[in-house]
């Protein structure tokens, strides 16, 4: 009977692995979907955080090449708006700030070389709440910076998911109809 147990465990592990693979389970990440474009131009300043992270994620997906010239791109990523706000969420009895809300509202679209819209404007809204303490100003500033960075990372993840899931329109077919 002791010889059967290791085989039973292996069989159970094999069945579990096959069940997970068969149901379409995969880890969340950039490799979850390929972009429907062979080449893409990102119309953002080179130093913009969103541009840097977006280029990294697109290069990691492997299916799309980032080009330096919009005229040679199948798709052009354009930022429509990027608004970041820090608002007071609550105050204590002395009127001092206890909490802030960090809010990021981002809109983007994808067009082709002719300026025809492939993906209409999409909006992504992110918020994070942060406590504030007068005695730990430097630590809270560092925490706020980390939250903004986390929001940027979340933003780029959402952009990548939307770019890989949304089926681009064919502007040539729309003109004929």
At residue 142, does pLDDT exceed 90? yes
Extents of the domains making up the chain: 28-169
Contact status, residue 102 vs residue 151, Cβ threshold 8 Å: yes
Cα separation values, 113 from 41, 119, 122, Å: 10, 13, 19
Higher pLDDT, 164 or 170: 164
**For the residues 97-108, what does the mean pLDDT come to?**
96
Whose CA is closest to 159, among 79, 93, 89, 46? 79
User: How is domain 28-169 classified at the CATH fold level?
Assistant: Double Stranded RNA Binding Domain (3.30.160)
Nearest-angstrom CA–CA distance, 119 and 170: 10
Using DSSP's 3-state secondary structure scheme, residue 90 falls into: strand
pLDDT digits (tens, 9 = 90+) for 8-62: 888 888 787 777 776 665 555 544 457 888 899 999 998 999 999 999 999 888 8
Which two structure tokens, joined as six digits, stand for 49? Answer: 């955080």
DSSP characters over 107-145: EEEEE-TT--EEEEEEEEEEEEEEE--GGGHHHHHHHHH
**For the residues 78-103, what does the mean pLDDT come to?**
94
Higher pLDDT, 130 or 5: 130
């Amino acid at each position: 009977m002791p010889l059967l147990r290791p085989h039973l465990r292996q069989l159970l592990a094999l069945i579990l692995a096959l069940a997970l693979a068969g149901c379409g389970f995969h880890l969340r990440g950039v490799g979850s979907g390929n972009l429907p474009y062979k080449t893409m131009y990102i119309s953002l300043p080179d130093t913009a955080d969103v541009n840097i992270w977006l280029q990294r994620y697109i290069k990691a997906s492997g299916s799309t090449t980032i080009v330096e010239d919009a005229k040679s791109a199948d798709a052009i990523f354009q930022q429509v708006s990027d608004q970041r706000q820090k608002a007071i969420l609550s105050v204590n009895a002395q009127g001092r700030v206890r909490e802030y809300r960090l809010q990021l509202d981002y809109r983007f679209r994808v067009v082709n070389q002719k300026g025809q819209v492939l993906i209409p404007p999409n909006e992504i809204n992110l918020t994070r709440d942060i406590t504030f303490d007068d005695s730990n100003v430097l630590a809270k500033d560092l925490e706020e910076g980390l939250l903004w960075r986390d929001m940027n990372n979340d933003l780029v993840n959402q952009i990548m998911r939307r770019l890989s899931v949304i089926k681009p329109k064919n502007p040539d077919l729309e003109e004929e109809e």
